[in-house]
Amino acid sequence: MTLSTLAAGIVAPLVGFAGTVALVIAAAQAVGATPAETISWLAAISLAKALGGIALTWRYRIPVVLAWSTPGAALIGASSGIAFPQAVGAFVLAAGLIILTGLVKPLGDWVAKLPAAIASAMLAGILVKFVMDVALAAPGAPWLVLPLVAIFLVMRLAHPASAMLAVVAAGVALTYALGLAGPLPTDLGLAHVVWTTPVFDPAVLIGLGVPLYLVTMAGQNLPGIAVLRANGYDPKVGPIIATTGFVSLLSAPFGAHPSNLAAITAAIAAGPDSHPDPAKRWPAGIVYGIAFLFFAAFAGPFVALFAAMPKALIATIAGLALSGALMGSLAVAMGDVQTRFPALLTFAVAASGVTVAGIGAAFWGLAAGLVAFAVERAWQAFAGRRAASRGGEHPRSSP
């Protein structure tokens, strides 16, 4: 354990937790979770990340760090009309599908073959609302929102890894300086988890559970594997993915949405700044896990702190935290002219918030995009065969 490895193991969880904890709390509020259920959600998912990451790091001697599904939290936060037990049922389904993906190779191959433009467009449609909410929050609290945007603009250029830490710290300080903070609860003891019996509503399973599984796999687990490979590791993909699903399944009845492989924070723990030798970076994964044990124990004070913050601050932190993911998703979605229209259709439907037959917009966006993609591919194949047929009937003469 070197000082740089220890530092990487501490900085990575701080970045991951502070940058997106507001999004998890907003997701809990969107599905009607009580304060006790919200604390349980945050504690359970922090425990899942900690124990799963420590076990995988110790088993494979590589810095495997887990994160909560940030696009998944955004998807939950953008939903409406879903009761908390129904949401928990969707979490159980998503966790089960992740386990199957790790154990059944054809299913993993199918997810990997999902057109990147369509998957990214669906994710962008989910994320865009949160980024737009920053602009909507600015007129009501300009002296809070605009300085945070300015800090983010500068910090993302000077030191991207610390940008959200700076925004959260400055946001809390500004809130109290402007007198916008609400009262803090007096009971700030250790967190307790609360069991919620899942309710398996078919419409919610299709409209939330399936998209939650897809964005977790395509938006987090696959990039997480890519980050490990880019840093010189050969991860055992199947067992690692199955483990993330297993800890997600255990934590789901306590309110937690899926855990997955980290990508951005993994780059901190698994990168050369952690240690020049890739074989000696794995202790950073242990430190990371221990840090999330601390976050799990004191989930109550964190929830209480954010509950005392104004809605404008929560919206600003969540929107700025997701801006990078939105940029990346839009770049992939619109990058290939051959898939640009199906991707645009996916984005438009997913961003619309439309609900049909009780099924949310993310599913319908994905369905619309895949149908358009299939029609375009079929038309191109038909046109190619017709051109080839005409070429056979009327061969060009040699010059």
C-alpha distances in Å from residue 393, one per residue of 263, 385, 398: 54, 12, 15
Q: Quick count: other Cβ atoms within 10 Å of Cβ 179?
A: 6
Phi-psi domain of 261 (left: phi exceeds 0; alpha: psi -120 through 50; beta: other) = beta
Q: DSSP characters for 50-95? A: HHHHHHHHHHHTS---EEE-HHHHHHHHT--S--HHHHHHHHHHHH
Q: Tell me, what's the pLDDT at 187?
A: 62
C-alpha distances in Å from residue 224, one per residue of 18, 205, 288: 19, 25, 16
Cα distance between residue 319 and residue 350, in whole Å: 17
Residue 129's Cβ-side half-sphere holds a number of Cα atoms within 13 Å equal to 23
What are 87's two structure tokens? 């949401």
Q: Tell me, what's the pLDDT at 44?
A: 95
Q: Tell me, what's the pLDDT at 255?
A: 94
State the burial class of residue 2 (Cβ atoms within 10 Å of its Cβ: 0-12, 13-18, 19+): middle
Cα distance between residue 220 and residue 226, in whole Å: 10
What are 363's two structure tokens? 């599913």
Cα distance between residue 288 and residue 268, in whole Å: 11
Q: Tell me, what's the pLDDT at 398?
A: 43
Q: b/e for 66-98, b at 16 or more Cβ within 10 A?
A: bbbbbbbbbbbbbbeebebbbbbbbbbbbbbbb
Q: Tell me, what's the pLDDT at 361?
A: 80
Residue 26's Cβ-side half-sphere holds a number of Cα atoms within 13 Å equal to 27
Q: State the DSSP code for 272.
A: T
What is the Cα gyration radius of the chain?
Answer: 22
Phi-psi domain of 233 (left: phi exceeds 0; alpha: psi -120 through 50; beta: other) = beta
Cα distance between residue 61 and residue 40, in whole Å: 30
Q: What is the mean pLDDT of each run of 10 residues along the chain (399 residues)?
A: 74 74 88 92 94 94 89 86 94 95 83 79 83 91 93 87 81 90 70 93 92 86 81 86 95 95 78 82 90 89 82 85 81 87 91 77 85 89 80 51
What are 348's two structure tokens? 């438009």
φ, ψ at 356 (rounded to 5°):
-125, 125
Q: Contact at 8 Å (CB) between 300 and 189?
A: yes
Q: Contact at 8 Å (CB) between 265 and 12?
A: yes
What are 128's two structure tokens? 């865009």
Cα distance between residue 307 and residue 316, in whole Å: 15
C-alpha distances in Å from residue 364, one per residue of 169, 269, 313, 361: 38, 37, 31, 5
